[in-house]
Structure 1
Amino acid sequence: MTALRRLGDGWGMLVLPLAAFLLVVFVYPLASVLARSLTDPEPGLGNYAAFFDSPVYLDVLGNTFVTAGLVTLVTLLLGFPYAYLMTVARPFWRGVLMAAVLVPFWTSLLVRTFAWVLLLRDTGVVNALIPGEPVPLLRNLAGITIGMVQVMLPFAVLPMYATMRGIDRRLLRAAEGLGATPVFAFWRVYAPLALPGVAAALLLVFVSTLGFYVTPALLGGPKDVMIGELIVQQLSGVLRWGFASALAVILLLVTGALLLVASRLVDLRKMIGSGS
């Protein structure tokens, strides 16, 4: 009763709407998915057994994480220098670079993906610029990577830029004044200070990429199916709602396990700035 009284007379009342919202839009759907995976078409672990008994489904899960890892790596390799350039550019050009990052948010994902289909096909603009025979860039991992990197690049650039803009560049000049070369000063002084932004970008891009459906469905081929596509196929194609729910639960658990392992290796709270 004391706890309820304190909740009612203080700032705790402000938490109730948020808690109710999370229960309705997050906890309840997750509980429903878990329940359906254990009860449809019959009670038990049959859906999970069907997944682990089939090497095809295991290959899809593995392909999902391999693709997400590749997209994350390429996104960080492109996003890091872009974010750094934004910190050293003049205000006008910084605004131009920021606008280039934000423009994709104003365009439909489906429209952007169809644009990549036109650009990457054998008779598209990209192959027209490449001498010789057309390079296959559609219905394979290359097309998926290009399309997903373009979608996820803003999610990598923005957290890294937010961290980099707070780094005092006088530290680099101080390191150079003590005899360090510019390259050595960058990697030993600047890069470690930018690491929290890189970690935040890595987690955001990797976890978001795991659930992609539209881009791999349109740019990938039969050998590049990701688990998001498999879930949709099970829902709309064969109406296996219980098995599709099991796939979603498995993806959630594996992702959580990987994050747990990562938290054992590095202090994720400190790297993303929420720890002391």
Structure 2
Amino acid sequence: MTLTLDRPGTLPAVAPNADALQRQGARERRALASLTLPGAALIFVVLILPIGWLFWQSFFGAAGQPTLENYARMLKPVYVRTFVTTFEVSGLVTLACVLLGYPVAYLLAQLPERLAGLLMIFVILPFWTSVLVRTYAWLVLLQRTGIINTWLVDAGLISEPLPLVHNMLGVVIGMVHVMLPFLILPLYASMRAIDPVYMRAAANCGATPAQAFRQVFLPLSLPGLAAGVGLVFVLCLGFYVTPALLGGGRVSMWAMQIADNISVYGNWGAASSLGVVLLIVTGIILYAFKRLFRTENFGGTH
């Protein structure tokens, strides 16, 4: 340490040198590392380790021999068709959630906070019911002898039941019901954070309500929209129960293919390779999506 005199007649002030500052910084880093170690260990056990095992297992065949056949078989038409169907369904569900969820979130954001909180109960109400129960409820509503078709036939609006289930339409309807809250919640939080002063300033500058919404409100809500779209799209990629029941075996998604490889064929290598490919493609799409929206994170910051 070095001693310095502030002015004559005063005690010298102690100025720490560079070595002392480095030792203090090292102690702080060790303390920070000790605090983050339990969380890092948990992430390693529940995330990194299973992904590593999945990647390793994908290079072994049913006989336990190292092979690349698990990846080569993905070029077969059945796997290509399932892969395309998975992203097609996920894209349609995400688009439907945006078209339905954005107006709802906008309406809630414009209401007083107390009333919006009350109406938010109806948004989160599906979380209180099992996905399996909701899927069977839609099956009762949409089947040929279900409530919707029966009502339409009795009202004379249609002459024969509409094919609303056991096809792509039924799968999309059931998945939208499940996924809609996941888009509304982050979007609503992002819209609530927008200062109303911006809209009033746009009006003072001569902008019409439509222009103010398009040029001010919509760009500011994009981070929340990106968060909701990313969350909905990723969750849709792993859906199993809803497509299996409402698709009636006619809509096969990637998760169903993985389950069949394990439960029917007992081939963990093939199932692991499907999971690895889905994980990589999902990561690429999310990165491209993030670059498209130019958001530094999906947390809803402006």
Could you say which residue in structure 2 is the equivalent of 1:19? 40
Q: Secondary structure at the match of 1:179?
A: coil
Could you say which residue in structure 2 is the equivalent of 1:173? 200
The one-letter code sitting in structure 2 at the alignment partner of 1:215 is T
Q: Contact 1:152 / 1:205 at 8 angstroms: preserved in 2?
A: yes
Q: Deviations over 1:37-66 (max 9, x none)?
A: 1123220211101112x0110110011001
Q: Secondary structure at the match of 1:223?
A: coil
Distance 1:260 1:166, change over 3 A: closer
Q: Deviations over 1:117-150 (max 9, x none)?
A: 1111112222234321211111111111111111
Could you say which residue in structure 2 is the equivalent of 1:137? 164
From 68, 73, 78, the counterpart of 2:95:
73
Could you say which residue in structure 1 is the equivalent of 2:78? 56
Identity %: 46
Matches within 5 A, 1:107-256: 107-130=129-152, 131-132=157-158, 133-256=160-283
- Root-mean-square deviation (Å): 1.9
Name whichever of 14-23 and 265-274 sits farther off: 265-274
Aligned length, in residue pairs: 271
Q: State the distance in 1 between where 2:215 and 2:80 align.
A: 41
Distance 1:47 1:111, change over 3 A: same
Q: Contact 1:195 / 1:271 at 8 angstroms: preserved in 2?
A: no
Q: Secondary structure at the match of 1:222?
A: coil
Q: State the distance in 2 between where 1:38 and 1:101 align.
A: 44
The structure whose RCO (Cα within 8 Å, separation 6+) is larger is: 1
Unaligned runs of 5+ in 1: none
What TM-score, normalized by structure 2, do the two folds share? 0.84
Q: State the distance in 1 between where 2:270 and 2:236 align.
A: 22
Q: Contact 1:6 / 1:12 at 8 angstroms: preserved in 2?
A: no
**Structure 1 position 267 matched with structure 2 position 294:** yes
Q: Which has the larger radius of gyration?
A: 2
Q: Contact 1:164 / 1:197 at 8 angstroms: preserved in 2?
A: yes
Unaligned runs of 5+ in 2: 1-22
Q: Deviations over 1:147-170 (max 9, x none)?
A: 111111111000000000011223
Q: State the distance in 2 between where 1:49 and 1:40 align.
A: 12
From 1, 8, 31, the counterpart of 2:52:
31
Q: Contact 2:223 / 2:293 at 8 angstroms: preserved in 1?
A: no
Name whichever of 253-262 and 264-273 sits farther off: 264-273
